[in-house]
Amino acid sequence: MSVFHAINTSGSALTAQRLRMDVVSSNIANAQTTRASVNENGDYEPYRRKMVVMEPKGESFQSFLQQATHSAASSSQGVKVSEITEDQTPFKTVYNPNHPDANEAGYVHMPNVDPLKEMVDLMSTTRSYEANITSLNASKNMLMKALEIGK
Listed residue (5, 7, 16, 20) closest to 135, CA to CA: 7
The predicted structure's pLDDT at residue 23: 97
Q: 60 pLDDT band (50/70/90 cuts)?
A: low
Q: 37 pLDDT band (50/70/90 cuts)?
A: confident
User: In terms of DSSP bridges, do strands 92-95 and 79-86 run parallel, antiparallel, or are they unpaired?
Assistant: unpaired
The predicted structure's pLDDT at residue 51: 96
Residues with Cβ within 8 Å of residue 47, at least 6 apart in sequence: 27, 30, 31, 33, 34, 36, 37, 111, 113
Cα–Cα distance, 16 to 53 (Å, whole number): 10
Residue 59 has pLDDT above 70, yes or no: no
| pLDDT: which is higher, 147 or 115 | 115
What letters, b where the CB count within 10 A reaches 16 and e where it falls short, cover 112-121?
Answer: bbbeeebeeb
Cα–Cα distance, 26 to 47 (Å, whole number): 10
CA–CA distances in Å: residue 56 to residues 33, 37, 63, 80, 105? 33, 32, 12, 6, 48
Q: What is the CA radius of gyration of the chain?
A: 22
The predicted structure's pLDDT at residue 96: 94
Q: What is the mean pLDDT of residues 61-78?
A: 64
pLDDT (tens digit per residue) in 4-29: 888 888 999 999 999 999 999 999 99
What's the mean per-residue pLDDT of the chain? 88
C-alpha 2, offset from chain centre: 27
pTM of the model: 0.81
